Amino acid sequence: MAGTKLRGKDIDILSGPIGRGLLRLAIPIALTQMLQQLFNAADIAVVGQFSGRNAMAAIGGTSPLIGLVVTLFFGISVGSTVVIAHMIGLNDRRGISRAVGTSLLLAVCGGLLAFGLGEAFAVPILRAMSVPEGTFPLSLLYFRIYLAGMPVILLYNFESAIFRSYGDARTPLLALVAAGITNVALNLFFVCVIGMSVEGVALATVLSNVLSAGILLYRLGKHPDIDLKASLRAGFHKESLRQIIGIGLPAGVQGTMFSLSNIVIQSAVNQLGPEVMAASAAAFNIEIMGYYVMNGFAQATTTFIGQNYGAGNRKRCRTILWKALGLDLAATAAAAGLILLTGKLLLSLFNSDPAFLELGYLRLLFISGTCVIQVVIEVVSGALRGYGFSLVPAIVAIFGICGVRVGWVYTGFAADPTFRTLLIAYPVSWAVTAAAQFIVYLLYIRHQNKTEPEREVPA
């Protein structure tokens, strides 16, 4: 569809410099995810300092489960990014409006569904995760309050996906800055002033997400390309919903494979006692920052390829992948090095016990020390999703990530049930999956070259 090209708020995705554009989009995406993770880190830090180790372990023990639910719907929101990016590349404003309305309604309905199912099955799920009896009541309380906030948590994620499809990652970041400050202030108020424990930090997280989702909804209402009221009044658009689910659900499944395997590993960690649980939870909140760096480039790759594929510029799409891989490898290696250099200092912010520090740093060595392997998985998967090809990468992740890790828990870890043995599952699963994902990409491009003739790109 010829016409004036719609561009990102401040990034020329369709014809501007690729490397600089990727950096300008990836960095605020990474910072946004880091700030989201700081919500949970602030929860753990506050209760660790003022409510004790059991409260800290209770939050850490439920984090992988919460991550599974959020990751599933975050993946589905990527479907919104891709569909809207394709419409932007085609200059199809009507298609954009339909996809926006469908995305927002899907977020709220998905949040309500997650809340209902989570509340119904919270007890058996936490029992299956081997949460110790001493922390079980606190884990259950934190989990249930967090679930109550799922509609606004998911709404923020889908709103962010809409902005990202335009190349605008700054607006979601600024909204989250306001919410992050609010979250820390409420954590201290509820725990230190009122005397709450895990219920206080959970409530603070929910209320801060109400703020961030509200800010983005207001900004969407002011967006020049989106008639928000008309989009919402139109309800679900069948074709937009089909496309979003078709692309986003496999992406969500791929993401949940990480979370599912982490739940299995968390169950093994729980068997090693509260001290290992607490150290592992604290290390996770540090190492995940490196992951957000690499994932920021993956999401930027999805947006760049989505718009350019919609506009018919396949040659530029291939260039985007290679530049994204190079930039992401460099940025992730730098982030991992910084984490390893400052690891024990950062861990001491959670707890200064020497045994705690040694256990936490052991996890950082295994995860941050090998995470560059995961760059290939993230960027290649992001590229394939940008094309609208999402199912096969999800299947690869199921076997490469979940299969290897679960298998290791029931073989290697069962034979030698130590924390060090358990952590070996991470780099091995990354290496297997990265090799498989790259092969899938090469086969997809070869098939595309045979079946999709190059389109003339409008000047």
Residues 380-400 pLDDT 10s: 999 999 999 989 988 998 888
> In this predicted model, what pLDDT tens digit does every residue of 56-78 receive, in sequence order?
777 777 777 787 788 888 889 99
Q: Lowest-pLDDT range, 43-52, 68-77, 179-188, 320-329?
A: 43-52
Give residue 59's pLDDT.
75
Is the predicted pLDDT of residue 38 greater than 90, yes or no?
no
112 or 266, which is more confident: 112
Per the CB < 8 A criterion, the answer to whether 333 and 375 are in contact is: no
| Amino acid identity, position 335 | A
Q: What is the pLDDT of residue 393?
A: 87
Percentage of residues of the chain with pLDDT beyond 90: 49
Split at pLDDT 50, 70, 90, the class of 2 is very low
Picking from 49-58, 186-195, 278-287, 403-412, which range would have the lowest pLDDT averaged per residue?
A: 49-58
Most confident residue range from 9-23, 75-89, 269-283: 75-89
Predicted local distance difference test score (pLDDT) of residue 273: 85
- Assessment of whether the complete model's pTM goes beyond 0.85: no
The per-residue pLDDT for 214 is 96
Cβ pair 382, 298 in contact under 8 A: yes
CA distances to 151, 266, 289, 409, 434 from 419, in Å = 36, 11, 21, 11, 24
List, for residues 413-444, the tens digit of each pLDDT value.
999 999 999 999 999 999 999 999 999 999 99
Contact, 17 vs 320, CB < 8 A?
no
Cα Rg of the chain (Å, integer): 21
Q: What is the distance between the alpha carbons of residues 365 and 358, in angstroms, rounded to a whole number?
A: 11
Beta carbons of 95 and 240 less than 8 angstroms apart: yes
Q: Range with the lowest mean pLDDT among 20-29, 111-120, 175-184, 266-275?
A: 266-275
The dihedral built from the CA positions of residue 227, 229, 230 and 231, taken in this order, carries a sign that is positive
Distance, CA of 116 to CA of 138 (rounded, Å): 20
Other Cβ atoms less than 10 A from the Cβ of 284: the count is 25
pLDDT classification of 351: cutoffs 50, 70, 90: confident
**9, 10, 331, 334 from 327: Cα distances, Å:** 22, 20, 6, 11
Q: How confident is the model at residue 10 (pLDDT cuts 50, 70, 90)?
A: low
Structure tokens at 323: 């530049």
What local confidence, expressed as pLDDT, does residue 336 receive? 94
Kindly tell me the burial class for residue 295, based on how many C-beta atoms sit within 10 Å of its own C-beta (0-12, 13-18, 19 or more). buried
How many angstroms separate the Cα of 303 from the Cα of each of 79, 216, 242, 263, 310?
11, 19, 19, 30, 11
DSSP code per residue over 173-227? HHHHHHHHHHHHHHHHIIIIIS---HHHHHHHHHHHHHHHHHHHHHHHHT-TT--
Query: Residue 414, Cβ neighbours under 10 Å: how many?
Result: 11
The sign of the torsion formed by the CA atoms of 227, 230, 235, 241 equals negative
pLDDT, the chain, mean: 87
Q: Rounded to an integer, what is the distance from CA 277 to the centroid of its chain?
A: 22
Q: Give me the count of residues in the chain.
A: 459
Domain ranges of the chain: 18-451
Q: Write down the pLDDT at residue 454.
A: 63
pLDDT of residue 223: 87
pLDDT tens, 100-145?
999 999 999 999 999 998 888 888 888 887 777 777 888 888 888 9
Q: What is the mean pLDDT of residues 194-201?
A: 83
Q: Which amino acid is at 140?
A: L
Percent composition of the chain: helix, strand, coil (DSSP 3-state, to 5): 85, 0, 15
pLDDT at 5: 42
Give me the DSSP letters along 234-293: T---HHHHHHHHHHHHHHHHHHHHHHHHHHHHHHHHHHT-HHHHHHHHHHHHHHHHHHHH
Average pLDDT on 177-194 reads 88
Residue type, position 149, single letter:
G
Per-residue confidence (pLDDT) for residue 453, from 0 to 100 = 66
Phi, psi angle pair for 368, to nearest 5°: -70, -30
- Burial class, 224, CB count within 10 angstroms (exposed 0-12 / middle 13-18 / buried 19+): exposed
Pair 206, 186: CB distance under 8 Å: no
